[in-house]
Amino acid sequence: MVDWQSNRKPEAGEQACFFSLKKSEKRSEKMPRNKLEDVIFTIIMAGLMVYCMVLYNVGWNMGGLTNASFGMALHEMPIMWPIAFLLEFLFVGKIAAKLAFTVVSPDDRPQIITYAVSFSICVIMCPLMSLIATFLFSSQKDLAGFVMLFGRNLPAALLLQFCYVGPLVRLIFRNIFRNNIDPVEGAEDLSSEGVVSREEREE
């Protein structure tokens, strides 16, 4: 077993092993790195979350789901999908990141940071979207109606985000941009950690 925490300089084979592990971790946790990727990621995430939440509420209001419910859920998409995208892309994403980093740090594992940001987005987006849905679609357009809608939406939103929609969207995103990976990205990170210097790689 290689002790990566010791002060001993790793040998060439050990460097290659560690380098490979770091690159694999980066690929598995690849997230948006620029505006275009951020837009595409948010569009997919907002679309799937909105559809699932609308379907959930259609089933709740009808006393259960039928085959027709899946088509009925599409009726609110032209309104709620753009609203969700704009809220998350322009405001909520930035606020959620700041909120998440009050609990986690940049040195934590990428999975922990992803979960913290996802949780923060849910607890901000859910009341906002529930409030909008209350006044646009609910028959009870008052504070009580909002509280009831928010109360039943939050558990469903968290479950979808952590167990189903979140992992699915990240899988779709990784497959869309799987070829858009810098081949020396991992090496640059190792260089910054002092494991492999630029001069050593050039030699």
Q: What is the mean pLDDT of residues 132-156?
A: 94
Task: Tell me the average pLDDT of the chain.
Answer: 80
Residue range 64-77, pLDDT digits in tens:
999 999 999 999 99
AA identity, residue 203: E
- Position with higher pLDDT, 169 vs 198: 169
DSSP label of 108:
S
| Residue ranges covered by each domain of the chain | 13-30+181-203, 32-179
Residue 183: what pLDDT? 42
pTM of the predicted protein model: 0.74
Does residue 63 come out as left (phi exceeding 0), alpha (psi in the -120 to 50 range) or beta?
A: left
With a cut of 70, say whether residue 3 has pLDDT above it: no
What is the band of 178 on the pLDDT scale with cuts at 50, 70, 90? confident
Residue range 36-88, pLDDT digits in tens:
999 999 999 999 999 999 999 999 999 999 999 999 999 999 999 999 999 99
